[in-house]
Amino acid sequence: MKFRVLHVGKGPKWLEAAIGDYVRRMPELVLVRVRDNPNRSCFDRMIRSAGSSSVVMLDRRGKHLSTAELAKKYRQWNFSGNDVSFLIGDSDGFSESERSQVAFVWSLSELTYPYSIARLVVCEQLYRARSIVNGHPYHHNEDR
């Protein structure tokens, strides 16, 4: 099973290095850069790249998750055995009709992030959720 982060563009080198660190730590995490195509929308290109995987769209109008809730979702995704594709759109974002076509819409925050920062946050949070599920000490429980 793979967790695929579909995105457009490329961030600064320091950011790409930080993202690469999480990809190295989590072999099931795969980054997929979706190329520009003036004849197709960003969403259409991403859906095509997602193939038969479950699709999670990143959008500020989506559902906010706590760390514990994300770990629970991660466990469910992992148990399903299906690949999961996370769509991080371009500066135009996604439309209401596009949001209605995906399995889950996840909001990182009410804030709007540059796609490269959103990609880093998604990779880190997936790694954190994996660490919780696997009992790894990366995440420090808030109850301590």
Residue spans per domain, the chain: 3-133
Could you give the percent of the chain with pLDDT greater than 90?
79
Cα-Cα-Cα-Cα torsion 69, 70, 74, 77, nearest 10 degrees, comes to 80
Query: What is the pLDDT, as a whole number, of residue 142?
Result: 59
d(CA 125, CA 127): 5
CA distance linking residue 32 with residue 50, whole number of Å? 9
| C-alpha to C-alpha distances, 137 to 55, 69, 71, nearest whole angstrom | 29, 18, 14
- pTM across the whole model: 0.92
Write the pLDDT tens digit of every residue in 16-50. 999 999 999 999 999 999 988 888 899 999 999 99
Residues with Cβ < 8 Å from 120, sequence gap 6 or more? 11, 15, 18, 19, 22
- pLDDT digit string (tens) for 11-21? 899 999 999 99
Cβ(46)–Cβ(87) under 8 Å?
Answer: yes
SS3 at position 85: strand
Q: What pLDDT, on a 0 to 100 scale, did the predictor assign at position 125?
A: 97
Q: What is the pLDDT of residues 60-116, one digit of tens each?
A: 999 999 999 999 999 999 999 999 999 999 888 899 999 999 999 999 999 988 989
pLDDT value at position 91?
83
Architecture of domain 3-133: 3-Layer(aba) Sandwich (3.40)
